[in-house]
Amino acid sequence: MWAPPPAMYWSRPAVHGAVPRPLRAHASVVVDDLMYVFGGTDSHGCSETLYALELDTFKWIRPTVYGDRPPPSRAHSMVAHQGKIYMFGGGDGLNYTNDLYVLDTASMIWSKPDVLGPPPSPRRAHSSIVWQDTLYIFGGGDTDRALNDLHALNLDAMTWTPIDVKGTKPLPRGYHTSTLVKDRLIVFGGSDGHDTFDDVNILNLETNTWTKVDVQRGAQQPARLKRLSHAAVAVGSYLFITGGHDGTRYCDDLLLLNLATMTWETRKVYGQAPTPRGYHTMLLYDSRLFLNGGYDGRQLYNQINVLDLSSSAYLPQISNFSID
């Protein structure tokens, strides 16, 4: 007898251990089977505590760290590469920096390495990715304006270089998402402090050329597409986007961008979906998406919400598609 493939399913597992306080504008990365979380803010100020969630057991721990630790921070970025976590920018809500901190997860030693070249200006709400041993920083905002510049840090030489791009640059923005898919950097949404965006811009990292994509809007188009402070993760040929603010209110829907066809899609999702929120984080581990924290305009969260991708984690296009 034919049966439909297993559907995607939200759950809210019970966690235990040293659970972080509810936070927003924190940052999270995965190294091995741990989700590391640093920073964020609540009504009492910014956090300077590093937490780690054991993703197989849902146990929170507070690792003992050494070295030159980052100060309390919000709206910074973090990426993981070869067992190290690179944290850039952010600040305490009044002042923002262009400092770089590195955590070696083998020794649990924080360092603030010497870097060469002209660094990006101090900023918050930017995005970062690593491609070919190079850390890329895009956009964000300083105390006066939104930004749309691109900078690269060679992680071998520890040298900053401003990137001279070709094509039409995205409008200045912060609280967007930048997602690495193959040799493309995909920027979605964000805000310049006045307008909230729903555009998709793609940077070819081989040629440093920007392209604004005309995404098709068919019958399956989601009702609301503008987003800031959302989260995005690439799963095969799809970009999974959760939550965020659409310029009017916080959202709880799941957006799917098919990167092979450049069309928006919707899927039926079961279970207990996260409540509307923004300023959360989301990451992929073992065919599941882990959503952490966030803010809905009134309440801060410290929950873990898990989206079991089921058969959607093994889409036919997962290894054979191109982004043109």
Tell me the pLDDT tens digit for each residue of 182-228. Answer: 999 999 999 999 999 999 999 999 999 999 998 876 556 666 799 99
Q: Name residues whose C-beta falls within 8 Å of residue 279's C-beta, 6 or more positions apart in sequence.
A: 24, 25, 175, 229, 293, 294, 295
Higher model confidence: residue 239 or residue 265? 239
Q: Are 275 and 296 in contact (CB under 8 A)?
A: yes
Rounded distance between C-alpha atoms, residue 107 and residue 79, angstroms = 17
The number of CA neighbours under 13 Å toward the Cβ of 192 is 11
Instruction: Pick the range with the lowest mean pLDDT from 104-108, 273-277, 308-312.
Output: 308-312
DSSP, res 21: P
- CATH superfamily for domain 24-164: Kelch-type beta propeller (2.120.10.80)
According to the model, what pLDDT value does residue 312 have? 60
- Indicate the length of the chain as a whole number: 324
List the Cα angle 176/274/227 in 5-degree steps.
Answer: 20
* Number of Cβ within a 10 Å radius of residue 190: 34
Residue 22, SS3 per DSSP: coil
- Parallel, antiparallel or unpaired: strands 50-54 and 77-81: unpaired
- pLDDT at position 77, please? 98
Kindly tell me if the per-residue pLDDT of 314 is higher than 70.
no
Q: Give me the mean pLDDT over the 7-17 stretch.
A: 95
Neighbours of 213 (CB within 10 A): 17
| pLDDT of amino acid 2 | 38
What confidence tier does 316 reach under pLDDT thresholds 50, 70, 90? Answer: very low
Percent of the chain with pLDDT over 90: 85
What tokens were used for 299? Answer: 């309440």
In the chain, residues under CATH classification 2.120.10.80 are 24-164, 168-324
The 10s digit of each residue's pLDDT in 43-82 is 899 999 999 999 999 999 999 999 999 999 999 999 999 9
Bigger pLDDT: 88 or 267? 88
18 secondary structure, DSSP code: S
User: Taking the domain 168-324, which CATH number applies?
Assistant: 2.120.10.80
Residue type, 195: D
pLDDT at 29: 98
**In DSSP terms, which residues pair with 244 in a beta bridge?**
none
Residue 100: Cβ within 10 Å count: 22
Share of the chain above pLDDT 70, in %: 92
Report whether pLDDT(8) > 80. yes
What residue ranges in 56-123 does DSSP mark as E strands? 59-61, 66-67, 77-81, 84-88, 100-104, 109-111
3-state class (DSSP) for residue 210: strand
Which amino acid belongs to residue 53?
Answer: L
- φ, ψ of residue 221 to 5 degrees: the values are -60, 130
Strand partners, 60: 17, 53
Segment 102-149, tens digit of pLDDT: 999 999 999 999 999 999 999 999 999 999 999 999 999 998 899 999
**Mean pLDDT, range 295-324, rounded to an integer:** 78
Strands 84-88 and 77-81, bridge-based pairing: antiparallel
